[in-house]
Chains A and B, each alone.
Chain A
Amino acid sequence: MTVTDSATQPLLRVRDLRLGFQYDDKLVPILHGIDFEINRGQAFGIVGESGCGKSVTWLAALGLAGPRARASGSVTLEGRELLNTDERVMTSVRGRRIAMIFQDPSSSLNPAHRIGSQIGEALSLHQGLRGEALAKETVRLLDRVRIPHAAQRVKAYPHELSGGMNQRVMIAMALAGKPDLLVADEPTTALDATVQAQILDLLNDLRRETGMALVMISHDLGVIAQVTERVMVMYAGLVVEQADTANLFGKAGHPYTRGLLSALPDMEDTKHRLTTIGGAVPEAGKLPSGCSFHPRCQHAIERCSLERPMLAVTADNHSVACHLRDEELS
């Protein structure tokens, strides 16, 4: 691989990623062919409702989806295939190249160990640090995630810290491997509003300083708008829309995205009645035919129930999976 290659090549490329869970003789499909790319240093958002597959995409990519998972397609990190590869290769990727933080920090941390030793474990694993250097780096990382009095806090147990502080500890552990990509799965959902603002601010700063790419998974469109540069909207195991963040919120193309945006109350004066999306998200394994959104879509035509629309680029690197064009939707 030449230097120019790695400069133009995306950091992570996902092609036709499919995932199902095997229950006895039955395969329940969850992801139905996902495509996206993440560039170096990019802040990438994934939006969708519960059960749409936004988290499981990453578990599949990192080989963490469990023994029942059956994945196909391709996930490449700088050209190297990750899907269904050797466990040894994956061990060198997890934490070191791609790190992940989750919604509930207190259940991700070991309650019986001091936070210093938990961060230290990640540091010695990924960077091979020992003794004095390890202790120093641990304090530096805690400082980095803006935990006050870092030198004293290394001795604290998770229960002695608040939810926001524990999430900072999780971020410090994720930074220990100096990852190229940090996947944050609903990192602020369990936190208070003022603390959420602090954590988002921290993640933004860290991304700018280290040049790592950031994937923000969230159901909160506000969080996505604030943090990311590019967004992908998922519905029932498929990508329905992908665009630069400003474009997505400015000119949403897919009826589902439009529905989500108009269903949100805002801080505006005008108290219009909220527009709702009727019905509910389909159950996994019981997808409607054609476009899986068609039973809830007010614009659906006959074709929508017969044929699944493909993601098609409209303009400005904005792609939408819908049979109808803009003018037909408005």
Chain B
Amino acid sequence: MTTLLRVNELRKKYLVNKSSGWFSRKQVLHAVDGVSFELSAGETLGLVGESGCGKSTTAKLVLGLLEATSGEVRFDDQAVHSKKTAVWREARKHMQMVYQDPLGALDRRLRVIDQVIEPLDIQNILDRTSRRQAALEIMTSVGLSHHLFDRYPHELSGGQRQRVVIARALILKPKLLVCDEPISALDVSIQAQVINLLQDIQKQMNLAMLFISHDLKVVNHICDRVAVMYLGKIVEQGLVGDVFKRPAHPYTQALLSAVASPFKPEANDRILLDGEPPNPVDRPAGCAFHPRCSQATERCKQSVPRLGDITNTHQVSCHLYSQTTVDTLTC
């Protein structure tokens, strides 16, 4: 497999007002703090974590919708910039996204078929009749029936709208699809339809997918690899089977034990974390997770752990694992 997307030490800082007042000080918020990963064609990487951990910011940086403070995103061996140049436009043809709320992503005043054609208009591909033909084909292939094509978004159900959004994302035949919580706004019986659809088109088009979700059950089902984020950093990543079956980081362990499944209701060994994710502005020193970690030591309060290998398909950033503690002295 060839690597399609390469993200290296990506960082995004924001300056925020600490408190309102006459002499408010600016503070730095590290939304994304040194994130690195790779993604190959046909592969799905899940990005999980709680709200505010930087999942969506990472996605926007990858797509070049935000300017990174430092670090690099390379797509198809070319750097992705946020400057809207011809190069950017060419690269964007191959990277598309699907968001959580389909009604928010669609224009309420345009018929859905016109919205699916729009990317072709913008990129100036094909002539008018072929554009319409291409739209008809892609809309049929995502399971929309013909009588829906000329409707407006409000005339469709939630699941149908999300199919329109997916059709629009696919019409340019992208290589990378970024899905940011694509099913959380949908009803349970509709979620399965959209999950199956995403898996089918991925196989057909050999798409690489960056799949952002807080639902670990869905991530387990759809992803090949997974990266767990906490306060802007990846704390654990690897093959889904490794990370979800043998979670190494205490945070991943807690996240997994918090999964409420109807198939194993009596989870007596449930790990309940104290407190909530801290405000990213007041990032704890050392390992950002140490105030909520039951196994934290003095060392966790002082030095920042780095991602290190446990096996060659599984990395964790935690002082409990000796492999990762070797190079922390350099921090």
- A interface list, Cβ under 8 A from B: 49-50, 148, 162, 164-165, 192-198, 200-201, 219-226, 245-246, 249, 259-261, 263-269, 271, 273-278, 280-281
* 12 further interface pairs, Cβ-Cβ under 8 Å (given A225-B265, A263-B189): A49-B188, A162-B276, A192-B214, A192-B276, A226-B265, A260-B188, A261-B262, A265-B217, A265-B222, A267-B216, A267-B261, A276-B189
* Chain B residues, CB < 8 A from A225: 260-263, 265
Q: A226-B260, A273-B196, A276-B196 are in contact. Are A264 and B244 (CB under 8 A)?
A: no
CB under 8 Å from chain A, chain B span 96-149: none
Q: Which residues of A contact B254 (CB under 8 A)?
A: 194
CB distance from A157 to the nearest CB of B (A): 13
Residue interface mask B201-217, A partner, CB < 8 A = 1: 00000000000001011
Query: Is B323 part of the binding interface, using a Cβ–Cβ cutoff of 8 Å?
Result: no
Residues of A within 8 Å of B256, CB to CB, are: 267
Across the two chains, which residue of chain A brings its CB closest to B160?
A280
Cβ contact within 8 Å between B188 and A263:
yes
A193 and B193 contact, CB distance less than 8 A: no
Residues A196 and B258 in contact in the complex (CB < 8 Å), given A266-B217, A269-B241, A274-B195: yes
Query: A193 and B255 in contact (CB under 8 A), knowing A249-B265, A274-B221?
Result: yes
Choice from B192, B261, B275 contacting A263 with Cβ under 8 Å = B192
* Chain B interface, DSSP helix/strand/loop, else mixed: helix
Q: B120: shortest Cβ distance to chain A, in Å?
A: 29
Whether A193 touches B258, Cβ cut-off 8 Å, given contacts A162-B276, A226-B265, A274-B196, is yes
17 contacts between A and B (CB under 8 A): A192-B276, A193-B216, A193-B255, A194-B276, A201-B272, A221-B188, A222-B260, A225-B262, A245-B265, A249-B262, A263-B191, A265-B218, A266-B261, A273-B196, A273-B199, A274-B196, A281-B189
Tally of chain B residues near chain A (CB < 8 A):
43
Q: What residue of chain A has the Cβ atom nearest to residue B266's Cβ?
A: A226
**How far apart are the CA atoms of A219 and B186 in the complex, in Å?**
11
Residues of A within 8 A of B188 (CB): 49, 219, 221, 260, 263-264
Instruction: Report the tally of A-B residue pairs with Cβ distances under 8 A.
Output: 123
Residue ID in chain A nearest B260 by CB atoms? A222
Are B272 and A197 in contact, with the CB atoms below 8 A? Answer: yes
Q: Which residue of A lies closest to B275 (CB)?
A: A148
Q: With A164-B276, A280-B159 in contact, is A249–B191 under 8 Å at CB? A: no
Bound: A327/B292 CA distance, A: 51
Could you tell me the distance in whole angstroms from the C-beta of A287 to the nearest C-beta in chain B? 16
- Min CB distance, A140 to chain B, in Å? 21
Docked Cα-Cα span, A264 to B196, in Å, equals 12
Select which of A192, A265, A278, A280 is within 8 A of B195 by beta carbon.
A265
Rounded to whole angstroms, the CA-CA distance of A162 and B273 in the bound complex is 15
Name the 6 nearest CB pairs between A and B, nearest first: A222-B260, A265-B221, A263-B192, A192-B50, A197-B258, A225-B265
Residues of B with C-beta under 8 A to A196: 258, 260
Report B-chain residues with C-beta under 8 Å of the C-beta of A266.
217, 220-221, 261, 263
CA–CA, A75 to B52, complex, Å? 43
Query: In the bound complex, how far is the Cα of B181 from the Cα of A321, in angstroms?
Result: 34
Are A274 and B192 in contact (CB-based, < 8 A)?
yes
Bound Cα distance from A277 to B191, whole angstroms: 10
Instruction: Kindly report which residue of chain A lies nearest to residue B255, judged by CB atoms.
Output: A193
Output the nearest chain A residue to B244 by Cβ-Cβ distance.
A267
Q: Select which of A194, A278, A280 is within 8 A of B258 by beta carbon.
A: A194
Q: Are A200 and B260 in contact (CB under 8 A)?
A: yes
Contact A197 B192 (CB under 8 A): no
Given the known interface contacts A193-B214, A197-B270, A269-B241, the answer about A49 and B265 at a Cβ–Cβ threshold of 8 Å is no
User: Which residues in B have their C-beta under 8 angstroms from that of A195?
Assistant: 50, 276
Judging by beta carbons under 8 Å apart, are A219 and B258 in contact? no
- CA gap between A226 and B263 in the complex, in Å: 10
Residue of B nearest to A222 (CB): B260
In the complex, residue of chain A having the shortest beta-carbon distance to the beta carbon of B53: A192
Report B-chain residues with C-beta under 8 Å of the C-beta of A268. Answer: 263
**Assembled-state Cα–Cα distance A194/B195 (Å):** 24
CA distance A224 to B275 in the complex (A): 23
Determine if B259 and A222 form an interchain contact, defined as CB atoms under 8 angstroms apart. yes
